[in-house]
Amino acid sequence: MVKSYYAGMDLDAPCGRCKGETRHRILSITDGTPEKLICTSCNSVHKFRAEKPAKATAAPRPARMATASSPKPASSPSRFQELMITEQAGTKAQPYSPAMKWEDGMWMDHPNFGLGKVQRKSGRKAEVLFREGLKTLLSA
Ligand SMILES: [Zn+2]
């Protein structure tokens, strides 16, 4: 059963000042639940107390992983990639190009190897750590 509330609606609710259930009027509604009430007996404004506080703690939306049927990739490479993405943080990975001047610590997004970080630059070569390991790539 769904109770629908609206501002201005009369409602019986416990009033702390009147020490009992009194007639209240809803002043504001949040997510379909009365938030502020005014007691029509003593004119005090107070928050609405849900009868069942257990239900008030709205659970975050349940994850619907059970229905997802996509197979999980092998854990270690994806874990590596996760770590890489976490470490990468705000910096933006650049798509790999041999014409690009790669420097130590730069992030790249390689079409074959995925996300990688430049470990060492020497001459026209850059050593980049990917989930498959260290690769030496051309750099400008
Ligand atoms: Zn009252």
pTM of the full predicted structure? 0.41
- Whether 108 is in a domain gets the answer yes
81 and 45 within one domain: no
Q: Which residues contact 118 (CB under 8 A, 6 or more apart)?
A: 102, 103, 104, 105, 106, 107, 108, 126, 127, 128
Residue 59 lies in a domain: no
Using the mean position of ligand 1's atoms as its centre, give its distance from the Cα of residue 41 in Å: 5
Q: How far is the CA of 43 from the centre of ligand 1 (A)?
A: 6
- Whole-number Å distance, alpha carbon 37 to ligand 1 midpoint, is 10
Closest of 66, 89, 86, 69 to residue 78, by C-alpha: 86
What pLDDT, on the 0 to 100 scale, is given for residue 68? Answer: 47
Q: Distance (Å, rounded) from C-alpha 23 to C-alpha 8?
A: 12
Residue 1 lies in a domain: no
Residue 62 included in any domain: no
Q: Residue 27 Cα, ligand 1 centroid: separation in angstroms?
A: 14
The pLDDT value given to residue 32: 85
Counting as low any pLDDT under 50, the low residues of the chain are 53-56, 67-70, 73-74
Residue span of the structural domain in which 42 resides:
10-51
Q: Is residue 56 in a domain?
A: no
6 CA → ligand 1 middle, Å: 20
